[in-house]
Structure 1
């Protein structure tokens, strides 16, 4: 069955948001729903209609995202939901296909999303492109290595986040492009990050911040909440929940971590961090990270040729790639990727392929995380020319590892 699909108008917002709330078992407070509405690009929403009923929805944030070697306009896919009463009717497939066609028409070569369930989006050509570590460090076992960097000119200042918002925005903007996957934040994303209503706190207290400064100039900041608690023996047992930590240099980064780990009445610091975050090297006992791995961003190459030509490469490569893509048929076929560390081109070709792979494999490798070799070992792609997978994987690899850090 085919369902009419179109963007919604603002007066259809209550029904649109109701589908999302039902699908995610979520009842947002009115103020939170208004924040979400304020950051909605209505011309980039899509709704599938069953008569007058909105049965499925999705939307896009127009992002400027860091990729290896620069930044690109990226379609940040969000709010993907189908009513429980309308599952297994092909609505999600129709929405995804229409959305990808719209993204292509806008000239965006790449789409990215956070997946509520990891099994959903591979069938639409998205690949797991970045990973996340959820860590929980016991403060009494948090000693640093003896060679941890330090700078005696640095000072810590305790601040109210809202009072220093321009400083936070400026510092984040100065480091956003350093890690693939991070994206520039508009006013509404910052409103979300600094929101501090009772429902935002979720029992963990008000949002707090510290700045690391050198002669009055900020070199880093940390945002966090502290959930106070006391053990049965009467001792402190608080948990510091680190929202984000950004720094301009290693010494500032180390001092920020040292500050949150040394906070009084706190016995544990929890955070989500990139897999190569410096804290993984700073701890003298790495086992005290107590890390749990999880997937983070999923990436889809909407236009294979434009996407592969737009990023930088870690090593020269010249390969013919045969791409399978039944969702975006304009990608299917053979492409010759020729790149070095200064430039890249990707053009259609009739030459024999060096390797064959699904488009999701390219999406998973696009930000530099490097899963092609593992997929080859798992039998999920085919190498026709010896060494082609290694050559492409090496060229696509990048440091630092990709990570977005804020769900959109």
Structure 2
């Protein structure tokens, strides 16, 4: 069957929401639904129809995202859902193909998403491009190394998050370009981050904020909730759940973490996810106290190979002919010469013999600087025609700091 696909309008949002609720098996609070509606870009929200019934949906947020060496317009794919009654009928495939075509027409060379199920999106050319590190720390064993940075001019200010929104926004805007995968936030994003109704608290307590500042202004902030608890002997055993911690410099960063870890009546700090190269790990005297687990985070899809590869920076010179396999976006399926050094890059179509043949998802996984091209070669998923070229390509596409997004969309 074929399913007509078109953008929805605002009047169809209730039906669109019902598809999401059925597909994800959730029942969001009405306030959360209204926030989602306010940030929906209806001209970028597609629905597939079975007759008059909305059978599947997907949407896009228009982002400016940090990539190695700069920023790029990126399509933030979200709300990918199909009714349980219409699974395995081609609804999802039709939606994803239409969406990628629309993204290309918009001039966005890259798409990115958070995957509710990691098995799905490789079929459409997405590759795992960043890793998140959720972890917990026993605060009683959280001493820093002796040479941790300090600045006597810094002080901590406790504040109501909503009352310092402007200061939080300004600080984040100053640091967003430092790490690939971060995206600029609009007013709707900040409204969601600072939302603090009962449904947002979910038994974890109100949202709290601390700011690290000096006489010139704010140099960092942390947002968190505290779930109070006592053990059977009435000994405090509270858990601090860290939402965000951002800082403009190492001293402010260290001071914020020290304040979070030294909070009275708290014995454990948990994070929803941090970068795999979070500087906190280096600050801790006993790094074994970071009890972490690995989690895939952002998945990236190269929509237009030439524009995407020429728009980012590279860590080392490389000159390679890449044969791209892409059965979803056929305009990518050809040979490309990538020539790059520390001053810039070009990517042009060629008919030369390839140095390497790879699926487009492999380029997506490496795009933000944290790909596993070498591992994929060893697994037999890439075909290297020129010895050593995958190592050179992987080195050139690597980046420090490692990519991380930090806010699900």
TM bin (shorter chain): over 0.9
Partner of 2:177: 177
Partner of 2:49: 49
Q: Distance in 2 between matches of 1:285 and 1:374?
A: 30
Partner of 2:105: 105
Q: Distance in 1 between matches of 2:353 and 2:300?
A: 27
Shift of 1:370: 3.0
Shift of 1:216: 4.8
Partner of 2:319: 318
- Does the residue aligned with 2:255 lie in a helix, a strand or coil? helix
- Does the residue aligned with 2:363 lie in a helix, a strand or coil? helix
Partner of 2:200: 200
Partner of 1:403: 404
Confirm or deny that 1:330 pairs with 2:331.
yes
**Partners of 2:225 and 2:242 within 8 A in 1:** yes
Partner of 1:293: 294
What is the TM-score of this pair, normalised by structure 2? 0.99
Partner of 2:241: 241
Per-residue CA deviations over 1:307-346 (Å, capped at 9, x if unaligned) read: 0000001111000000000000000010000011111100
Q: Distance in 2 between matches of 1:145 and 1:253?
A: 14
- Does the residue aligned with 1:273 lie in a helix, a strand or coil? coil
Per-residue CA deviations over 1:68-116 (Å, capped at 9, x if unaligned) read: 0000000000000000011010100000000000000010000000000
User: What residue ranges of structure 2 are gaps of 5+ in the alignment?
Assistant: none
Partner of 1:370: 371
Partner of 1:391: 392
Q: Distance in 1 between matches of 2:233 and 2:175?
A: 44
Partner of 1:159: 159
Cα RMSD after superposing both structures: 0.6
Which has the larger displacement, 369-378 or 240-249?
369-378
Q: Distance in 2 between matches of 1:215 and 1:185?
A: 26
1:128-167 alignment, distance < 5 Å: 128-167=128-167
- Does the residue aligned with 1:390 lie in a helix, a strand or coil? helix
Shift of 1:407: 0.3
Partner of 1:304: 305
1:210-229 alignment, distance < 5 Å: 210-229=210-229
Q: Distance in 2 between matches of 1:240 and 1:182?
A: 24
**Partners of 2:201 and 2:207 within 8 A in 1:** yes
Per-residue CA deviations over 1:240-264 (Å, capped at 9, x if unaligned) read: 0000000000111011000000000
Q: Distance in 1 between matches of 2:400 and 2:375?
A: 18
Per-residue CA deviations over 1:249-295 (Å, capped at 9, x if unaligned) read: 01110110000000000010001100001011111111111001100
Shift of 1:374: 1.1
User: What residue ranges of structure 1 are gaps of 5+ in the alignment?
Assistant: none
Partner of 2:127: 127
- Does the residue aligned with 2:294 lie in a helix, a strand or coil? strand
